[in-house]
Amino acid sequence: MFVNFFYELRARKIPVTTGELLDLLKVVNSMTAEPGFLSTQEFYYAARSCLVKELKFYDDFDIVFAKTFKGITDDPEYKKKIEELLNSSIYQELSYERKTNSIHIHSEVLMR
């Protein structure tokens, strides 16, 4: 889900990097550690803060976010889905080179 979101942002010509995506995953992980739940609105603002560097891309970001996460509610079951994606999807779909080129994340997290 997050990787598709990332590539959709790139398709809309929003300049996002894999390092920024990994930063977003770290933020989501830390935000869900204590309360165990992240609302759609909290995720939206976290994603926009991590991935969008200029105001001119906000509209395109909103379009991609709505398209990608359409139908997601603030149901606690989504925390479980997000955790699964954090723990498996991103590490499986990024190449070793992309993982090692990220300067924003600790090496022990990259080599999971």
Residue with tokens 């992240």: 38
The end-to-end CA distance of the chain, in Å, is 19
Residue that the structure tokens 């190449």 belong to:
95
Encode pLDDT of 71-95 as tens digits.
Answer: 655 556 666 776 676 666 555 666 6
Q: Hey, where are the domains in the chain?
A: 2-101
How far is Cα 13 from Cα 57, in angstroms, rounded to an integer? 9
Query: Contact at 8 Å (CB) between 31 and 8?
Result: no
Are 82 and 32 in contact by the 8 Å Cβ rule? The answer is yes
| Average pLDDT of the chain, as a whole number | 79
pLDDT, residue 23, reads 93
Q: Region 28-36: what's the mean pLDDT?
A: 81
